[in-house]
Structure 1
Amino acid sequence: MKPRRLALILAAALTVATPALAQQPQGIQRAGEFIDVWNNRGGNVLEMVQTRQELASSGRTVRIRGYCRSACTILTTMPNACLGPQARIGFHAPRIQGTQIIPPYVDQIMGNFYRGGIRERWFGGWNRSMEMKIISAREYVRLDPQARICGSLRP
């Protein structure tokens, strides 16, 4: 990848979306046997990529619960992730905070984490939509059969 292109990608990713995860009161709870991602609003895509790497290498099951939207959605395909039976997953175009501007390449970064029907829908229009496209955990698994519902949580 050319250095200029990489610099543009990183600059765009650093300016995307909402406040960082650390500012989310119900973001990520790391206590106990599981890591629970609760009602996570997403945030900066590049920061979420780093969080994803940390969570994936934790050795613990990551349960995505409540409402996971925006950059949070890239956590759904970690090998150690599962979806709470009542989880709702929300997709929309990445954008520069406080604007309707979709930065270049950030949707590509996000899309590289998706699989199956989720990936198809992402690149089929969700990645350009300002409206949140919300699906249930069951619908998510239907579109991405490699994803799973958490056995440790009751519906």
Structure 2
Amino acid sequence: MGAGEIRAQVGRVLGHCRHIRPRPSPGKGRLPPVGLSLAAMWLSPGARLSQIDRMLKPVLIALSVLLSLPAATPVEAQSRRPIDISNDSGGNVLETIQRRNQLQRSGRQVRIRGYCRSACTIYLSLPNACLDPKARVGFHAPRLPGTKIIPPMVGDIMGQFYRGEIRRRWFASWQYSLDMQVLTAAEYRRLDPQIKICR
């Protein structure tokens, strides 16, 4: 796959955020300097993904943190019944972060059951989450849909939600490997002692 195709694939991934647009400069209706720089690099045939990576990484990480913060006024749960997340194979990372935020605001217990893979694993560090004793957890590098291409920055965003030895292993190797790293609930707890095991 050529550089142009890779750039197009990354563009489609970042397109999930197309509803977030930079505000124009007051009275000018133009993109701010950073926006112009990014646009120029993206449209330039000679632009390197590493340059875009360096400029966007802090922005996307900051965005992921903001998306994960609970609302100032917690939403009252209509029911105290637990929320079950069962056999979740993951999906779009930013959408999963938004879902994580909703689960935290709910105030209800979140039970991770069956298998939990890929983006689903960011639910495990929720303060109101527990892991079923028979559950299995799987980690692998994020990739562009339908390809084996590992997009820049997405692994760093996911890593902000991990703890302990899980976090260390993720940043050291797991985020670069397409092979699934599968853990039982007991194995996961040894690497992240803060996890609660469901009763």
Query: Same fold judged by TM-score > 0.5?
Result: yes
Give the TM-score, by structure 1 length.
0.79
1:148 aligned onto 2:196: yes
Between the aligned residues of both structures, percent identity stands at 58
Deviation at 1:32, TM superposition (A): 6.9
Does the CA-based 8 Å contact 2:138-2:182 persist in structure 1?
yes
> Which of the pair has more CA radius of gyration?
2
Query: 1:59 aligns to what?
Result: 107
Aligned to 2:151: 103
State which of 61, 74, 89 in structure 1 corresponds to 2:137.
89
One-letter amino acid of the structure 1 residue matched with residue 144 of structure 2: I
Structure 1 pair 32–39 and aligned structure 2 pair: CA distance change class (3 A): farther
**Matching residue within 47, 50, 63 for 2:95:** 47
- Number of matched pairs: 130
Whether the 8 Å CA contact 2:80–2:108 is kept in 1: the answer is: no
1:148 CA drift (Å): 1.3
Which ranges in structure 1 are unaligned for 5 or more consecutive residues?
A: 11-30
Q: Which ranges in structure 2 are unaligned for 5 or more consecutive residues? A: 1-33, 39-54, 61-78
- Aligned-partner Cα distance in 2 for 1:143–1:8: 27
Provide the secondary structure at the position in 2 that maps to 1:67. Answer: strand
Report how far residue 124 of structure 1 moved: 1.5
Tell me the CA shift for residue 111 of structure 1: 0.3
Query: Could you tell me which residue of structure 2 aligns to residue 118 of structure 1?
Result: 166
Offset of 1:6 from its aligned partner? Answer: 3.9
- Identify the structure with the greater helix proportion: 2
Contact 2:57 2:153 in 1 (8 A): no
Q: Distance in 2 between matches of 1:136 and 1:6?
A: 35
* Alignment check: 8 A CA contact 1:61 1:81 kept: yes
Q: Look up the SS of the partner of 2:144 in the other structure.
A: coil
Deviations 1:51-82 (A, max 9, x none): 00000111100000000000000000000000
Task: State the Cα RMSD in Å.
Answer: 1.9
CA contact (8 A) 1:84 1:149 kept: yes
Distance (whole Å) between structure 2 residues aligned to residue 54 and residue 148 of structure 1: 19
* Counterpart among 152, 163, 187 of residue 139 in structure 1: 187
Per the alignment, in what secondary structure is the counterpart of residue 52 of structure 1? helix
Q: Write out aligned runs for 1:72-87 (5 A).
A: 72-87=120-135
Tell me the secondary structure at the aligned position of residue 90 of structure 1: strand
Offset, 1:9: 6.7
